[in-house]
Structure 1
C-alpha cells in the first residue's frame, strides 16, 4: 500500500501482479477505498478470480512488467479466492546473470538468483527529510561467477533479512531469488528492494539445484568461492603503483584499481578533528571546533 499527497488531495494505491496458465503477467491496481478493501485480503501465491475490472494501457512510469495492459479495480469489481490450479505457476522469473548488471541502466527492474555469501546486521540511516529508516546489506554470488551487493529496505529488512541472517550464521547454504529488484548506483551497481520486490529463499526451481551443485563441486566453501570472483559493483583490476602512474598520468577521468602494498606511513594529524558537541534542533552540530 502506497500513500500519496497531491494538490488534488490525499489518497492511497495498492497494486499486485498476477500470472495465468499461459505464463502471462499483468498488474492489478486499485485506489483509495477499493485499495483498502483488497489490501488485507490478497495473499502471495494464492489463486484468484477477478471480475469487473477496467483494462487500460500500461503506465510505464509505474509499471515495468512486459504486459502492455493493466487492470484497474472499481467499486463493483470482485476478487474471489479460487481453488488451487496446477496449470497456473506460482511464480515466474526471468533471471539475469550478475555479470550483466553492470551494463544495465539505473532503476531497471531485474530478477536474479544467487547463493547468499554475506549478511550484515540491520542498521538505521537518516534520510534527507530527517526521517530514520532500517536497511540491511547482503551479498549474492551466482554462476557467472560474480558477486553483487543487495540492499534490503523495509519491509524486507526485518522479516526476510532476519531469517537470512539466522540461516547464514547457522552455516546453512541459502539460495535467494529476487523478483523485481531495482538496479541502483551506490559506489557501483547495487540491487535494492522495493515495496513490490519479493524474496524467495531456496525456491524449488532448477536454478537452485544448479547453484548448490556448483557450490558442492567447488568444495562447498561459500566464502572462499566468493573471494575468487569479480565484484560487479567495481569491475576493477589489480595493478602495481608504477602501472597506475603510467596509465593515469594523462587521464582526466578517475580510474579505480586494486593495489596490494605495505603501509609505510600514516599521517595522524589530519584524520580526525574535535567537533562541536552542541545540539541544534535535536542533532549534534559536528562542525570543526576551533
Structure 2
C-alpha cells in the first residue's frame, strides 16, 4: 500500500517545529555507547535524512524488533538539540506505523542550505515544495539504500547502477562578526518545554521538568583536597512515575536549601545532567541533576493532583532474607515491638541515638528495623507510645538499608522516610490481615537466629563443611550453627584487662595497662581507674564427627561455655591462686556438647590471610529440642525428595 511520509518534516523540525507529529522512515539503526546502550537512528521524510537519538526508555522498541530498518514511525514527542555544532533529533516517544517497508524516495542528508533553498522556492515558512512537484511525494523510487559511516547513498531506479552525491561545496571563509558597539544581542528567552523525567538525557539543550519533592536530605559539610564545601540533595517524582535526584553544592546550596520543601511541586530547568553515583543514589535513574548558578527552581502554587505524593516498590520481608548487603529497598509491616532509645557512640566520637523495632507481614517472617538519630525521637517515640497503648501500627519504610550483621535487618539512612499508618492499598491490606488472624500467626525472624528453641531458622553445618565449602572467603561473613564438643581450652591467655568507663549504654572495653601503684590507664579515654574490668578472649578447640577446628569466644559466649565470669576465673588463677578450682571449671566444660552459632570471615593478619571463626552464641544441647529439630529435618527431607541425597549426613 502507498505510504505518504510527512513532506519536508526533517526541515521543519530543524527549523524549530516540534509540535507536529510527522510520519518518517527509519533508514538505519546503530548501537552506540560503551557504558550504556543508546541507539542512533537515521530518519527520512523521503527527501531529507537526519540523525536522531532514541531515549533510553524506548530501547526495548529496538530490542523487540518493533522498530527496525525500513520501519515507518510517527514521532509523538521529540526535540531538536545541537550537539558539537550538529543538530540531532532526540526522540522521546514514538509509535510504529509499519514495521517493514521498502525505502521511500531518494533522501539526502539534510543541511541548513537545503532548508533555505526550500523556503525560497516555496515562499512558505516551513519549506514546503511548490505544487508542481507534489507528484513526487509518496511512494518513490522503492529501491534499497546503502549506508557508509551512517550516511545514505542513493541508487538509480534500476537498483544496479549507483551514483554518488555531488560533492559538498565548501562555503568561502568569513571572519567572525564584530558585535562591538552594536548594542545588546537578543536571546531566545522563551520558556523551555516541560518533559517527563524519564526523557531527560545529556543531549538536550533547554529542558524543564515539573515534579514533586519526595525527600530532602540534610545539609552536609565536607573537606577534601579542594577545600571545604557543603552539599545537599533532594529527590523528585513526576506524574509519569519518573524519579531523579537533584544535588546542589556550595553557593547553589545558599540559593535553594531554604526554598526547597518536601511535598511541594516545582518546575526546574537549566541544570546539568551527570551519571548518578549509585553508591549514594538509590533511585532507578541513570542520571542525576546538578543545579548551577543559572538554574531555575519555581514553586507551583496550584496543587497538581496528577503527581503522586510518593512512589514505593515494597519488598515482602521474606524476600529481604536474600537481599544483597547494603542494598536500598522499601518495606512495609506491622510494628509488633519497640525497644527504648539508647545513646550510641559512633566511630568518629560523636554520640547518636538508636532504637530497634520489629516488623512482621504476611510472608511469615519478621525483621528488625534500626532507627538512627532523629528518627528515634520523632517516629520512634510515636510508635513506642502506640505499641504500649495496645495498638499495632502499620509502618512503611522508604529507602531502608539492608544489613547482614547477625542475619538480615533494615536500618535508616539520611534518605529514609517513615510513614505511620499510611493510607494506601498495601497498608490497608496489611491491616485487614493483621486484625483477622495475622496478629496470632507465628513468624520467624530473619534478623537473629534463635538458639536452641528457634532451630527452624538455623543454617546447620558440620566442621568439615566450613573448609570444603570455603565459608568466610566471600565479601561478607557466613553465619552458621554447628553441634560440637569442647575438646581443649587454652588457659594461658583467656582474658584481658578492660576499661570500665561507660559511654552512653556502652562500655569502652579497650585494653588498659597498669599506671603507678595500683591504677589502670586507658589510652583511648585518657583516664585512670582504681579498678579495671576483665573480659574473655578465649581460644577453644571444638570437634564433631567430621573433624575439629579452633574458634574464638568473647565475653558472653565464653561465659556460656565456662559458666563463670572472666573476673572470677582471673582471681582464681592469679589472685587467690586456687588452681584446683580453676582446673575444675575448665574440666567441666570439656567433652560437653554445645550448639555454637559461628561467624566466619577471612581476615588479614600481617601478610597472611586467615579464616577467623568467632562464637557469637553458645548453649548446651537440649536433647529434647534437638530431637524435635532432627525429626523436623527428616520430615522436610522426605517431603522434598532429598532423603536419599542426605541420608549419609548426620548432626
The reply to whether TM is greater than 0.5 is yes
Q: For 2:283, what is the secondary structure of its paired residue?
A: coil
Superposed, which structure 2 residues align to 1:162-181 within 5 Å? 162-181=381-400
Aligned pair count reads: 271
Residue 240 of structure 1 deviates from its aligned partner by: 11
Of 441, 444, 450, 1:230 maps to 444
Q: Residue 213 of structure 1 is aligned with which of 413, 419, 432?
A: 432
1:122 and 1:16 map into 2 onto residues whose CA distance is 28
Is 2:480 the counterpart of 1:255?
yes
1:225-281, CA deviations, whole angstroms, 9 ceiling, x for partnerless residues?
A: 4xx11111246786799xx9x9636443663389xxxxxxxxxxx99x997685643
> Who is 1:12 aligned against?
230
- Counterparts of 2:498 and 2:225, CA distance in 1: 46
Give the direction of change, closer, same or farther, for the CA distance of 1:283–1:111 in structure 2 (3 Å limit): farther
Q: In 2, distance between residues paired with 1:8 and 1:275?
A: 40
Aligned counterparts of 1:275 and 1:155: Cα–Cα separation in 2: 30
- Secondary structure of the residue aligned to 1:36 is helix
Correspondent of 1:104 among 318, 323, 348: 323
1:61 aligned to 2:286? no
Contact 1:239 1:257 in 2 (8 A): no
Aligned mates of 1:164, 1:284 — CA distance in 2 = 41
**Could you tell me how far apart the structure 2 residues matched to 1:159 and 1:27 are?**
25
What is the rounded CA distance, in whole Å, between the counterparts of 2:273 and 2:464 in structure 1?
A: 58
Give the deviation of 1:58 after TM superposition. Answer: 1.5
Post-superposition CA distance 1:13-35 (Å, at most 9, x none): 11111100000001111011212
Q: Which residue of 2 aligns with 1:161?
A: 380
Instruction: For residue 128 of structure 1, give the secondary structure of its aligned residue in structure 2.
Output: coil
Partner of 2:332: 113
Matches within 5 A, 1:1-290: 1-82=219-300, 83-218=302-437, 221=439, 224-225=440-441, 228-234=442-448, 248=462, 250-252=464-466, 255-256=480-481, 280=522, 281=525, 286-288=532-534
- Whether the 8 Å CA contact 2:463–2:482 is kept in 1: the answer is no
Query: Cα 1:276–1:199, aligned 2, differ >3 Å: closer, same or farther?
Result: closer
SS at match of 2:304: coil
- Mapped to 2, the partners of 1:100 and 1:256 lie a distance apart of 22
| Counterpart contact for 2:396–2:419, Cα < 8 Å | yes
TM-score, normalised via structure 2 length:
0.38
CA distance in 2, matches of 1:59, 1:26: 12
Counterparts in 2 of 1:249 and 1:57: CA distance versus 1, 3 Å: closer
Q: Secondary structure at the match of 1:161?
A: helix
CA drift of 1:47 comes to: 1.1
2:213: which partner in 1? none
Structure number with greater CO (CA < 8 Å, separation at least 6) is 1
Deviation at 1:98, TM superposition (A): 0.8
Q: Deviations over 1:99-137 (max 9, x none)?
A: 111211111000000001111111111122322111111
* Separation in 1, partners of 2:420, 2:454: 41
Q: 1:274 to 1:159 in 2, by over 3 A?
A: closer
Report the RMSD for the aligned CA atoms in angstroms: 3.1
Q: Is the 8 A contact 1:248 1:255 kept in 2?
A: no
2:319 and 2:451 map into 1 onto residues whose CA distance is 18
8 Å Cα contact 1:47/1:84 also seen in 2: yes
- TM-score, length of structure 1 as denominator length: 0.83
Deviates more, 1:121-130 or 1:135-144: 121-130
Return 5+ residue gaps in structure 2 as ranges. Answer: 1-218, 472-478, 484-493, 502-519, 535-566, 568-574, 576-651
Cα distance in structure 1, aligned partners of 2:528 and 2:259: 45
Cα deviation code 1:57-91 (max 9, x no counterpart): 22222212111111111122222221211110000
CA–CA distance in structure 2, aligned partners of residues 32 and 274 of structure 1: 45
Q: CA–CA distance in 2 between the matches of 1:240 and 1:146?
A: 13
Q: Which structure has the greater CA radius of gyration?
A: 2
Sort the Cα spacing of 1:247 and 1:33 in 2 relative to 1 into closer, same or farther, 3 A.
closer
CA–CA distance in 2 between the matches of 1:27 and 1:166? 34
Contact 2:421 2:427 in 1 (8 A): yes
Check the 8 A contact 1:236/1:256 in 2, yes or no. no
